[in-house]
């Protein structure tokens, strides 16, 4: 037998032995690494349930770090809060957004705040921080959030009067796209609401997609398609080849990106024309000297540096769309599912809201009678200060964010060799990931009921306590990259949730299974199918 044949026989025997070892481990937690292809097969087979698959694997040791290998890439995953703090704060400079991650998301996020490092990131964050720290923005946001929550409540109420079901209402009022997506109606409403608000507050644009006739929105459809296609690149080692050959999902990416780019560039051109208007020129010098004045985010970037290209401003827009639209809308969708599947929690929220309303109206002898007057009157009670009294509602939102963090998986790149607090060794160039979705289900972090939705979790020693380490509750990241829009997100979610839970009771349509889409943000494949009934009291 020749040397070549012996080598081939030995290689086959080695592959067979590795295969047998992997097969023996099927059904037990832990990554199954195959020769040459690493965990590629396992990732592909479980991609549709990626975060639950990762949670199952973390059972090997609940707060451990795990390493996996794919062709040419090395991954390290962790759910250990001490490791998370080390990555996000203690050794922050060693864990930027990796080049692989940046290349993957470049078509959609470009060089925006979520896809940049160093000076580019610092400049965008500093500019945006002025807006989010502004009391003017907070007051304007509160008004805008209330106006849009009212619009949403009226549409929900209208669905009862016509068909009694949000799902049926979608069929009779929506465009052809929504006709094919009626099961996503309540999630679609949240997406429309948050898109309208981020476009107005961020870019000064009245988009108007949250309207009774539910107008078709090609941008939102294309943006979601781009998000899903690009996110799948993280699990597809052959995406570059597919991009080159223009096959598979990559074939459609360019078409969807064109729709997204046309939308964003139209916003930019519209704002440039407004800033160049004859009347605007009178104030342009003053605005440059007083950037704390009431300005939308896009105008602030334009006024800071007129040399910014349309492409750079496009990246700014899309990064804040994904931050202000997808995250809040997905959280409200999961919140709806949670209260509909936990009627005891829904009852407690309603009782809190009813008592809140009675207290606020205690000195007012006039009580509205019509439904429209009731919801409008209640909305006016929801001020920035008064919302702080709705502690059970806040706890329910915290639980929703804990179990279903808007960004369920986060990637970093190790610039140099490192050792995590757990003792795990990190090699230079490896991808390091912490997984907020999995962390919420680790019993050593949250207790034996970690996987359960329980707002009372946030009540300790007879008092509500929402102070928690951001390295344990990682829904808004932590360290230098902690979310700038956290307070704004809570403000919109609390206003919307308070209005809906005060006047509507949600019932789940039987037989549905909650299924998420594996994207940069954790939206639902089929949304939440619900019917509603009024729960107003006299």
Measured between alpha carbons, how far is 338 from 396 in angstroms, rounded to an integer?
A: 9
Q: Do residues 505 and 535 lie in contact, with contact meaning Cβ atoms separated by under 8 Å?
A: yes
Residues 182, 239: Cα–Cα separation, whole Å: 31
**CA–CA separation, 121 vs 107, rounded Å?**
17
Residue 22 among known ligand-binding residues: no
Sequence-ordered alpha helix ranges (H) in 381-506: 391-403, 436-439, 443-446, 486-503
> For residue 405, which phi and psi values (nearest 5 degrees)?
-60, 140
250-275 helix and 310-321 helix, angle to the nearest 10 degrees: 110
Cα–Cα nearest to 512, from 182, 225, 214: 182
**Per-residue tokens: 26:** 């099927």
- Whole-Å CA distances, 340 to 141, 196, 323, 454, 500: 28, 26, 26, 14, 12
Contacts of 344 (CB under 8 A, 6+ apart): none
Q: Which structure tokens are listed for 58? A: 């973390």
Closest CA to 187 of 330, 40, 54: 330
The rounded distance, in Å, linking the Cα atoms of 111 and 121 is: 8
Structure tokens at 331: 């959280």
Buried/exposed code over 390-404 (b: 16+ C-beta within 10 A; e: otherwise):
bebbbbbbbbbbbbb
Beta carbons of 203 and 317 less than 8 angstroms apart: yes
Q: What angle do CA 443, 346, 510 make, to 5 degrees?
A: 85
Residue whose structure tokens are 């049926």: 168
Alpha helices in 76-134 (DSSP H): 81-85, 99-109, 118-132
Alpha helix positions (H), 1-77: 3-25, 40-46, 50-57
Both tokens of 292, joined, read 């704390």
Please count the CA atoms within 13 angstroms of the CA of 269 that sit on its side-chain side.
6
Q: Contact, 339 vs 455, CB < 8 A? A: no
| Contacts of residue 420, Cβ cutoff 8 Å, sequence gap at least 6 | 65, 78, 80, 82, 83, 86, 87, 426
Q: What letters, b where the CB count within 10 A reaches 16 and e where it falls short, cover 76-114?
A: bbbbbbebbbbbbbbbeebbbbbebbbebbebbbbbbbb
Query: Number of helices and strands (H, E) in the chain?
Result: 23, 10
Q: Which residues fall in the annotated binding site for heme?
A: 483
Q: Which residues fall in the annotated binding site?
A: 483
């Amino acid at each position: 037998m020749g040397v070549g044949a012996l080598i081939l026989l030995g290689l086959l025997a080695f592959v067979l032995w590795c295969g047998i070892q992997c097969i023996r481990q099927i059904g037990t937690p832990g990554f199954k690494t195959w020769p040459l292809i690493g965990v590629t097969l396992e990732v592909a087979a479980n991609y549709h349930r990626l975060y639950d698959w990762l949670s199952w694997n973390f059972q090997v040791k609940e707060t451990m770090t795990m390493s996996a290998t794919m062709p040419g890439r090395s991954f390290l995953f962790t759910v250990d809060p001490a490791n998370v703090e080390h990555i996000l704060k203690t050794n922050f400079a060693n864990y930027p957004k990796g080049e692989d991650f940046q290349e993957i998301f470049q078509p959609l996020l470009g060089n925006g705040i979520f896809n940049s490092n160093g000076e580019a990131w610092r400049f965008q964050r500093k500019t945006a921080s002025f807006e989010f720290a502004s009391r003017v923005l907070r007051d304007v946001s509160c008004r805008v959030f209330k106006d849009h929550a009212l619009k949403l409540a009226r549409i929900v109420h209208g669905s009862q009067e016509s068909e009694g079901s949000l799902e049926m209402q979608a069929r009779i009022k929506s465009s052809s796209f929504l006709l094919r997506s009626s099961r996503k109606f309540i999630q679609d409403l949240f997406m429309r609401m948050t898109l309208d608000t981020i476009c107005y507050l961020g870019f000064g644009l009245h988009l108007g997609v949250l309207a009774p006739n539910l107008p078709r929105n090609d941008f939102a459809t294309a943006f979601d398609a781009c998000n899903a296609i690009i996110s799948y690149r993280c699990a597809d080692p052959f995406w570059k080849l597919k991009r080159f050959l223009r096959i598979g999902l990559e074939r459609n990416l360019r078409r969807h990106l064109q729709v997204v780019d046309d939308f964003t560039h139209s916003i930019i051109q519209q704002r440039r024309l407004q800033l160049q208007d004859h009347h605007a020129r009178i104030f342009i010098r003053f605005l440059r000297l007083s950037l704390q004045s009431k300005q939308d985010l896009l105008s602030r970037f334009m006024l800071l540096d007129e040399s910014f290209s349309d492409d750079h401003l496009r990246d700014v827009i899309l990064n804040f769309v994904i931050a202000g639209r997808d995250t809040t809308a997905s959280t409200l969708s999961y919140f709806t599912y949670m209260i509909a599947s936990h009627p005891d929690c829904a009852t407690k929220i309603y009782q809190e809201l009813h008592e809140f309303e009675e207290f606020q109206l205690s000195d007012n002898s006039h009580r509205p009678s019509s439904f429209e007057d009731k919801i409008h009157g209640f909305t006016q009670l929801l001020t920035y200060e008064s919302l702080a009294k709705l502690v059970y509602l806040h706890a329910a939102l915290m639980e929703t964010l804990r179990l279903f963090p808007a960004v369920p998986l986060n990637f970093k790149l190790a610039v140099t060799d490192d050792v995590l607090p757990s003792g795990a060794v990190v090699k230079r160039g490896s991808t390091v990931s912490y997984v907020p979705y999995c962390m919420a289900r680790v019993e050593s972090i949250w207790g034996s009921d970690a996987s359960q939705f329980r707002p009372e979790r946030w009540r300790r020693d007879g008092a509500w306590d929402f102070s928690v380490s951001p390295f344990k509750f990682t829904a808004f990241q932590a360290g230098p990259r902690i979310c700038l829009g956290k307070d704004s997100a809570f403000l919109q979610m609390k206003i919307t949730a308070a209005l809906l839970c005060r006047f509507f009771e949600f019932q789940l349509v039987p037989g549905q299974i909650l299924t998420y889409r594996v994207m940069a943000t954790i939206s639902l494949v089929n949304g939440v199918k619900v019917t509603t009934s009024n729960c107003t009291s006299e």
